[in-house]
Amino acid sequence: MKERVTLTLDQGILKLVDKKVDGFNIKNRSHAVELLISKALKAHIPKKAIILVGGTGTRLRPLTYEIPKALLPIHGKTLTEHLFDLFKKYDVNETVMAVGYLREKIIDYFGDGSKFGMKVKYVEEKEPLGTAGPIKLAKEMLKDTFIVSNGDELKDIDIEEMYKVHKENNALVTIALTTVEDPSQYGVARLSGSRILEFVEKPKKEDAPSKLINSGFYIVEPEVIDMIPDGFTMLEKDIFPKLAEQGKLYGYPFSGQWFDTGNIERYDKAIKEWKDLV
| Whole-number pLDDT of residue 59 | 86
- Give 10-residue mean pLDDT values along the chain (278 residues): 70 73 68 59 78 88 89 94 95 94 94 95 93 94 95 93 93 94 85 91 84 93 95 92 95 93 91 92
- Three-state SS sequence of 197-228: EEEEECCCHHHCCCCEEEEEEEEECHHHHHHC
Catalytic residue among 42, 119, 143, 202: 202
Cα separation, 45 vs 228, in Å, equals 24
Cα separation, 209 vs 184, in Å, equals 11
| Whole-number pLDDT of residue 181 | 86
Q: Is 242 part of the annotated catalytic residue set? A: no
pTM for this one? 0.84
| Whole-number pLDDT of residue 113 | 95
Q: What share of the chain is helix, strand, coil (3-state, %, to 5)?
A: 35, 25, 40
Q: Residues 217, 221, 224, 225: is their CA dihedral positive or negative?
A: positive
CATH T-level fold of 48-273: Spore Coat Polysaccharide Biosynthesis Protein SpsA; Chain A (3.90.550)
All structural domains of the chain with their residue ranges? 11-40, 48-273
| Whole-number pLDDT of residue 15 | 74
